[in-house]
């Protein structure tokens, strides 16, 4: 398989054209088919990637590690608390050295107003592609898997009504990167996107403006509502997920009065009943069960969360196969 985007950084899907994203999806689907049919795909034989994590991970770490193994390569997991980063080593020095050792660097850094800047600093000094495993603003790996899943389920994306809905959760103060990525990406594929949240949980103005522009340029629509029921009504896809109030409140406190005032923002059977009869429930996982969503919904017939999670493997493999090649 020819690495068509050899050396190209994967930091945000905004920096990839629709044609390039379509190619990644095409490769993802091919790799999924081959995986299910036990066809060998050693396109990155003897290639190495370094996976740097500032935070915990299940799907992202394991999709990257197993994915690179299935491509014939090797992934080295790096807990940044055990690296010299914890003693102050710069992103420049880390990227320069690691890129001289292998063929790709992937990093998760979700610290607010730090993560994306850190990835871009690495990209400025790396001789191999930098892959974003989630930062404070973007989660392109998740966005790509979400798009692949919607295409699989609906066949096409035009006029698919997708509602991205804030939901109550207490597990930790979550990044805004998943909903922000979705509002930028989905309108590019002519979806009708609704963003719903209670006041205090705004996404950045620049992201909202860009989402509207992406919709106008690609035949989609984008709107905002502060009414949860309105967002569920008639939706083909609902993505009820918590995100933190980072834009309006930079405190790292998980639970505060604002959060507690919106306990009612939960995905229940009653909310699902307002949506399209064949509505699909999606979530990047892990879901805060009992808070964001009731078990009967996430485990019920409308849920496609496991298909969505499985696609993280195949899209990750596509990104690596297309960007990591011979030096």
pLDDT digits (tens, 9 = 90+) for 241-269: 999 999 999 999 999 999 999 999 999 99
Complete edge-to-edge strand list for the sheet that includes strand 130-135: 74-79, 48-53, 104-109, 130-135
Classified as helix, coil or strand, 304 is: coil
Q: Domain 141-308: which CATH class?
A: alpha beta
Q: Under a CB-based contact definition with an 8 Å cutoff, are residues 283 and 240 in contact?
A: yes
Closest to 35 (Cα-Cα) out of 1, 71, 3: 71
| Interaxial angle between packed helices 177-185 and 140-154, expressed in degrees from 0 to 180 and rounded to the nearest 10 | 50
Mean pLDDT on 186-193:
98
Provide the pLDDT confidence category of residue 326 given band limits of 50, 70 and 90.
low
Query: Taking all residues of the chain, what is their mean pLDDT, rounded to a whole number?
Result: 97
pTM here is 0.97
pLDDT digits (tens, 9 = 90+) for 120-176: 999 999 999 999 999 999 999 999 999 999 999 999 999 999 999 999 999 999 999
Closest to 20 (Cα-Cα) out of 161, 185, 136: 185
Token pair 């969505």 is at which residue? 308
pLDDT digits (tens, 9 = 90+) for 193-205: 999 999 999 999 9
Tokens representing 154? 């609906």
Provide the pLDDT confidence category of residue 2 given band limits of 50, 70 and 90.
confident
Q: Where are the domains of the chain?
A: 13-139+314-323, 141-308
Provide the pLDDT confidence category of residue 234 given band limits of 50, 70 and 90.
very high
Nearest-5° Cα angle at 131, 129 to 55: 140
pLDDT digits (tens, 9 = 90+) for 63-84: 999 999 999 999 999 999 999 9
Topology (CATH) of 13-139+314-323: Rossmann fold (3.40.50)
Q: Under a CB-based contact definition with an 8 Å cutoff, are residues 56 and 79 in contact?
A: no
């Amino acid at each position: 398989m020819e690495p068509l985007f050899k050396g190209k950084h994967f930091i945000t899907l905004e920096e990839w054209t629709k044609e390039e994203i379509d190619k990644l999806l095409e490769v993802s689907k091919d790799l999924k088919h081959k995986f299910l049919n036990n066809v060998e795909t050693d396109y990155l034989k003897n290639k190495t990637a370094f996976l740097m994590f500032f935070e915990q991970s299940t799907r992202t770490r394991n999709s990257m590690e197993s994915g690179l193994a299935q491509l014939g390569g090797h992934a080295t997991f790096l807990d940044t608390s055990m690296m010299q980063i914890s003693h102050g080593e710069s992103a420049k020095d880390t990227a320069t050295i690691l890129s001289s050792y292998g063929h790709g660097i992937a990093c998760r850094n979700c610290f607010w107003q730090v993560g994306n800047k850190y990835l871009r600093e690495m990209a400025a000094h790396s001789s191999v592609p930098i892959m974003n495993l989630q930062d404070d603003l973007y989660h392109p790996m998740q966005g790509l898997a979400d798009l692949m899943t919607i295409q699989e389920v609906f066949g096409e994306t035009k006029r698919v009504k997708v509602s991205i809905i804030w939901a109550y959760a207490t597990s930790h103060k979550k990044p805004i990167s998943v909903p922000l990525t979705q509002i930028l990406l989905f309108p590019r594929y002519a979806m009708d996107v609704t963003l719903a949240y209670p006041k205090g949980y705004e996404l950045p103005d620049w992201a909202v403006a860009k989402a509207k522009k992406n919709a106008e340029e690609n035949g989609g629509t984008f709107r905002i509502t502060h009414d949860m029921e309105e967002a569920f009504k008639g939706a083909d896809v609902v993505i009820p997920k918590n995100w933190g109030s980072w834009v309006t409140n930079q405190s790292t406190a998980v639970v505060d009065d604002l959060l507690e005032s919106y306990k009612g923002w939960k995905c229940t059977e009653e909310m699902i009943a307002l949506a399209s009869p064949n509505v699909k429930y999606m979530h990047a996982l892990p879901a805060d069960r009992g808070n964001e969503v009731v078990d009967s919904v996430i485990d019920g017939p409308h849920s496609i969360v496991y298909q969505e999670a499985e696609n993280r493997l195949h899209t990750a493999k596509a990104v690596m196969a297309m960007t990591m090649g011979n030096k």
